[in-house]
Structure 1
């Protein structure tokens, strides 16, 4: 999927969400992330730049779990892997801070096949559709505004190839605005 398609998809989703009634409004968020952070969950894909992420969290679904469905889009500044997707998260309050884990599915525009010339190792992501676990730690700046430090990971968890799964980790900060 090309970068233009991901942007159009993300914009269309966010525009559709703008039609939601105020009673069911959730929150929009945006942030900036370091792309391809070295962690034990990944190996180098030789990508760079920063990621600009934009998303929308729906109003929590009532019930015992109070999960928050979300849409996410991420655009890489250097033309490397960008993605768009959907997921669910949950906010757990711990005093003045909260923790927000989430898990989703994304479609990315990274190369379908890529080999590192130095190591001979495949560095493509192995599948066009990837899992997107994430976790954030945040605090309230006001009643409607929160700020979060977050980690976002995309990979196929070795489901499509048990010997190849570089994944990409992104770490950054995002601002959330409750509508």
Structure 2
């Protein structure tokens, strides 16, 4: 239990330091803080939810569209972090977002990028030689532990993941907005594999524009 608490505190400290340090190196035009349901089942997604759960706290900086992204139809670079409060997988990364407004105060957003996580890449079975060196009781206990982990831990298949995200937002005023957001992590069988459990999350975010 103490190890889990220390791991969670370390994640929170890194997250807070990142949020406070970013304004020193660049002026973000938008800051978002959110709360996400971690590891949910989403219709039409190939991810099997339920292996991990809990609530994740997210923070995101979205920058003004720089000149070098003008050709990308107004894409805005972002950097984000997500800390799982239940001690499950936390992650962070960078990417690009696109936004289009509709119905006066509403807007839709999609984005893509790359994430790095601290979860499980894969859970491998021991070799036959390793199993033969164990007693029957030891083999039984080890295999039971491995299969239990496979049922309760996401096997991402690679340390780096593709991140796809989308949101529907409502402008509360000139500076504040509220969003319903979806996030998907996967290696796409390109960045790694063959394991590719992936991760889906749903939640709410509050955004402030500067």
Q: TM-score, normalised by structure 2?
A: 0.73
Which string of whole-angstrom CA distances, capped at 9 and with x for unpartnered residues, describes residues 25-73 of structure 1? 4111011111111122202461110111111111123535121111110
SS in 1 for 2:148: coil
User: Residue 11 of structure 1: CA displacement?
Assistant: 4.0
Is the Cα–Cα contact under 8 Å of residues 113 and 122 in structure 1 kept in the other structure?
Answer: no
The alignment's C-alpha RMSD in Å is 2.6
Is the Cα–Cα contact under 8 Å of residues 40 and 50 in structure 2 kept in the other structure?
Answer: no
Alignment counterpart, residue 100 of structure 1, candidates 109, 119, 122: 109
Q: What pairs up with 1:21-100 in 2 under 5 angstroms? A: 25-39=28-42, 40-44=45-49, 46-62=51-67, 63=70, 65-96=73-104, 97-100=106-109
Give the Cα separation in 2 of the matches to 1:93 and 1:152: 20
Q: Name 1:124's counterpart in structure 2.
A: 155
Which string of whole-angstrom CA distances, capped at 9 and with x for unpartnered residues, describes residues 71-124 of structure 1? 110011110000011111011111231111001111101123345539879841
Which of 118-127 and 93-102 deviates more? 118-127
Q: Comparing both structures, which one devotes a greater share of its residues to strand? A: 1
Which of 129-138 and 37-46 deviates more? 37-46
SS in 1 for 2:20: helix
SS in 1 for 2:19: helix
Is the Cα–Cα contact under 8 Å of residues 132 and 154 in structure 1 kept in the other structure?
Answer: yes
Is the Cα–Cα contact under 8 Å of residues 28 and 177 in structure 1 kept in the other structure?
Answer: yes
Structure 2: segments with no counterpart, 5+ residues: 1-6, 124-145
Is the Cα–Cα contact under 8 Å of residues 52 and 76 in structure 1 kept in the other structure?
Answer: yes
Structure 1: segments with no counterpart, 5+ residues: none
SS in 2 for 1:19: helix
Q: Comparing both structures, which one devotes a greater share of its residues to helix? A: 2
Look at both structures and tell me which one has the larger radius of gyration over its CA atoms.
2
